[in-house]
Structure 1
């Protein structure tokens, strides 16, 4: 018989999970800037927890390449790497196209409405110059058909691939979202979904990511 988990162990696991989610959000939004050195004891004091859940949270963040550790000497928030992010774009649009091909049915009216709402939120965030809200709305828009594919592993892989891109979008908001072009590109995707033309959906998704890639590539130019 499996040994019953003790209440203290359950509490520590929840603290570690919540702490991971909190620090992750602060890194993605830039509240904890790239290059920041993270020390176990300082983080434990800051969040009023022991060092154990801090270490567990940092280990999980390291697997997502949000932090990096060197020989138990230091841990720091990973610096933004435009070139590495650029290489992810073709992978992302290829996997999103795969998700569309795997759809077992047409998107429901509720799913299409959710995409429409996410795009409206993106437009509103751009108007308000809210970088975090814009990145989150963009992520939600693309995630709806991915989740509708029913392939949880595909959804997980895409979420991991997009994490550095969200950091990039927030950090370089002024240079990446100078216009509402992304909103128009999303509308083309929606129109193709409503028409039931998955070939056009795939083409529109690729066009959206290619245009985003063009916008991001400007950052790597001298």
Structure 2
């Protein structure tokens, strides 16, 4: 039996109607994970099993939202994701290489369940932090997310997990209830937010932050 109602995007409005958006800074970082034991899911066939949002509060604090579930629950997981994205309409959406992977993957998998992610994403201003850092011209030799995090001195709690090993840790969640894959995904989202913050600090002397965000956003 499904854990969540299939009409979740509509019923979710009951929860979000009291959602105090003013407590957040209108920026949310996002990342997904797929169950891909055969390697990178370039054909969009592997199910989405995990996603997370990290949003800074107006002050010293963070909102962290994360969902993980069995492959058979992909439709329910995506329904939850759809509802959360509705709650974040008008926000800046940060991803790391999300133009090439996360967003297109969500759009394609969502179609299988009648979810129009293209529509809901059009209400957010997307910033691909990977493209952002490449355009800024930071002197680096590698631009994968972990290398960029190390460049800025950011340390991960779960440094041993990588995208190609995620499926092994995901199995440990299914078999033993391990939350390591959840925390790994959260660190991906948080790392994206931290990199963006570091880049904004780097450029703040030249341009106002609002103008920087707008010029690098995609709608």
- TM-score bracket, normalised by the shorter chain, equals under 0.3
- TM-score w.r.t. the length of structure 1 is 0.25
- TM-score w.r.t. the length of structure 2 is 0.25
- More helix per residue: 1
- More strand per residue: 2
